Structure 1
Amino acid sequence: MPVIAMTREMGSGGREVAQRVADKLGLTIVLHHMVEHDLAEHLEVRESAVHHLLEGGATLFDRLQIGSKRLAHYTAEEILDLANRGNVMIRGWGACVVLRGVPHVVRVRVCAPMEVRERAVMLRHGTEDRSAARREIERNDAAHRITLHSTYGVDREDSALYDLVLNTERSSIETCAKLVCDLVESPEFGETETSRAILNDKALEAHVRIKLRERFGLGTGVSGVEATADGGKIVLTGMAIHSTLVNDASKLAGAVSGVRAVENHMVVVRGPRALT
């Protein structure tokens, strides 16, 4: 079942490429409001706060209430759950970062020179104000660049994040869509038991990490707790001020659906070091 992660520059035609690919392959396109709604429900905040944090324009209260790391955990969970369903095109939201390392996921970036993007934005808004179009594009670029860096610590311009980079100045929408479809249907990106297992482990890690984060926040006596998955087995690391907390972490991870076993390597450390 195909899974495509796509990021696009405003005015590059990425939206049209995504729709053309989805039509050809019978994929569901994940639009921003679908992710924002679910994230807001899980984070127990206003949907507009999530939108502003992801798109730029978040208030200080929004940033303090949600936090980039907390947002990263919940966004990853949403993206991985969507990818696990298959037959999906996930546009934006750091999907190219979250899904890297999953062999059957095709990661695509659609871009174009500024002049092309300005014309597209001007046409969309029915204006001839090129300066206003450039300001809107630059604001959008900056918001996405900052969000991706603060949430995942990556540069969205890094070509290593993508399997295919398309320049719509040089190639038509139809040609771009064909290139994406050809890549999806190539043997290198075929889904296998191994690639499915990798995706399942990533999803399992995301679920466990959220449970641990929500249980062991600041002042709970647990620090640096982390979870990795391997074939359904969860390995825990971190520090705690008491063995009871270590056992609690094991029970919490073991209760997550899909976890087959828990291997706990957390250490008990007393004193200030345990709270850092």
Structure 2
Amino acid sequence: MAILTLSREYRSGGREIGTAVAERMHYDYVGKERILADLRAQGGRWAAVLREVDEEGPTIWERFDWEYRGLMALVESTLYEFAMQDRVVLVGRGANFLLEGLPHVLRVRLTAPAERRAEWVMQKDGVDRDSAVRLIEKTDSERASFIRVNFRREWDDPTAYDMVFDTSARPFGEIADILCSALHERAARLTEEGRGRLRGRTIAARIKARIATDPAIRVPTLQASFDGRAILLQGVARRVADLDAIDEIVRATAEGIPVRNELRYRP
């Protein structure tokens, strides 16, 4: 059992390579549409919000908006839930940063020269070269900003990936073959300890999402993490009632994992 995360520059072959790997390995492919379907199934207007801001750099106002923070917490939780199923290809949305340090995860970056990608955009989208170049620059910039704001990391940092491919240098099918071989090797690295770390992170993200999407709770600086033994909650609550509500969510969600609640009350 292994997991593949794909970070990709716009029109660098992410969908084609990701779906090819998923088909050959019998993995689940999780891109934007799959996440939207999952959010729709959960109800509310979260799917509509994702369509508005997906992988775009938020404005200064959005960063501190309850709805945006709730959506990001929910998307992260959804990615973790898919990861817990194993045998999955997770495309974009910082999945490589969420799953960093897990031995059975293969984190891959796909790039290609802008001029080559412009040709692909012209072929696929039927636009002229100037429009293709502007679309590439805009989309790449938004994706980089999304990662910088939500993970405080650089999207194109090669040290954040196990493998980096220039997809203009070899056929997509050949890259898919290489990734399939690498995933077989990664599957052999899965251990109970690694599985336990993923479960801890998943439940921490689930707790955070349930708190962040509750319109009755306001914790603007909420953080939830797993250190290998316990889930750590940190942040500032504005009302005592919020702390009580969070305690109830933790009791209902932690599934036996110890939780260190370091949330502070500050009126």
Choose 1 or 2 for highest CA Rg. 1
Q: Which amino acid aligns with 1:259?
A: G
Contact 1:184 1:190 in 2 (8 A): no
Higher RCO (C-alpha 8 Å, min separation 6): 2
Deviation, 1:151, is 2.3
Contact 2:111 2:167 in 1 (8 A): yes
- Identify the residue that residue 194 of structure 2 maps to in structure 1: 195
Alpha-carbon distance between aligned partners in 2 of 1:21 and 1:262, rounded to the nearest angstrom: 37
- Identify the residue that residue 105 of structure 1 maps to in structure 2: 105
Q: Compute the TM-score of the two structures, normalised by the length of structure 1.
A: 0.81
Alpha-carbon distance between aligned partners in 1 of 2:204 and 2:156, rounded to the nearest angstrom: 27
- Identify the residue that residue 253 of structure 1 maps to in structure 2: 250
Alpha-carbon distance between aligned partners in 2 of 1:84 and 1:32, rounded to the nearest angstrom: 18
Aligned runs of 1:174-189 on 2, under 5 Å?
A: 174-186=173-185
Deviation, 1:56, is 4.2
Deviation, 1:202, is 0.5
Alpha-carbon distance between aligned partners in 2 of 1:150 and 1:91, rounded to the nearest angstrom: 18
Alpha-carbon distance between aligned partners in 2 of 1:187 and 1:105, rounded to the nearest angstrom: 7
Deviation, 1:90, is 1.1
Question: Is 1:228 the counterpart of 2:229 in the alignment?
Answer: no
Q: What percentage of residue pairs aligned between the two structures are identical?
A: 26
Aligned runs of 1:39-118 on 2, under 5 Å?
A: 39=39, 44-45=44-45, 47-56=47-56, 64=65, 66-67=67-68, 69-118=69-118
Alpha-carbon distance between aligned partners in 1 of 2:10 and 2:220, rounded to the nearest angstrom: 40
- Identify the residue that residue 3 of structure 1 maps to in structure 2: 3
Contact 1:225 1:237 in 2 (8 A): yes
Q: Which amino acid aligns with 1:255?
A: A
- Identify the residue that residue 140 of structure 1 maps to in structure 2: 139
Contact 2:30 2:91 in 1 (8 A): yes
Inter-CA distance 19–120: structure 2 relative to 1 (3 Å threshold): same
Using the TM superposition, name which of 193-202 and 3-12 deviates more.
3-12
* SS of alignment partner, residue 4 of structure 1: strand
- Which runs of 5 or more structure 1 residues have no equivalent in the other structure? none
Inter-CA distance 160–72: structure 2 relative to 1 (3 Å threshold): farther
Aligned alpha-carbon RMSD (Å): 3.2
Q: Compute the TM-score of the two structures, normalised by the length of structure 2.
A: 0.84
- Which runs of 5 or more structure 2 residues have no equivalent in the other structure? none
Alpha-carbon distance between aligned partners in 2 of 1:7 and 1:182, rounded to the nearest angstrom: 19
Alpha-carbon distance between aligned partners in 2 of 1:76 and 1:12, rounded to the nearest angstrom: 24
Using the TM superposition, name which of 96-105 and 231-240 deviates more.
231-240
- String of CA shifts for 1:145-182, please: whole Å, max 9, x gaps: 22222222222111122111110122221221122122
Contact 2:73 2:208 in 1 (8 A): yes
Inter-CA distance 250–29: structure 2 relative to 1 (3 Å threshold): same
Alpha-carbon distance between aligned partners in 2 of 1:133 and 1:124, rounded to the nearest angstrom: 10
Alpha-carbon distance between aligned partners in 1 of 2:62 and 2:233, rounded to the nearest angstrom: 31
Contact 1:233 1:259 in 2 (8 A): no
Alpha-carbon distance between aligned partners in 1 of 2:60 and 2:239, rounded to the nearest angstrom: 35
Using the TM superposition, name which of 258-267 and 139-148 deviates more.
258-267
Using the TM superposition, name which of 195-204 and 257-266 deviates more.
257-266
Q: Which amino acid aligns with 1:5?
A: T
- Identify the residue that residue 208 of structure 1 maps to in structure 2: 207
Alpha-carbon distance between aligned partners in 2 of 1:159 and 1:103, rounded to the nearest angstrom: 18
- Identify the residue that residue 166 of structure 1 maps to in structure 2: 165
Alpha-carbon distance between aligned partners in 2 of 1:102 and 1:25, rounded to the nearest angstrom: 20
Inter-CA distance 89–152: structure 2 relative to 1 (3 Å threshold): same
- Identify the residue that residue 24 of structure 1 maps to in structure 2: 24
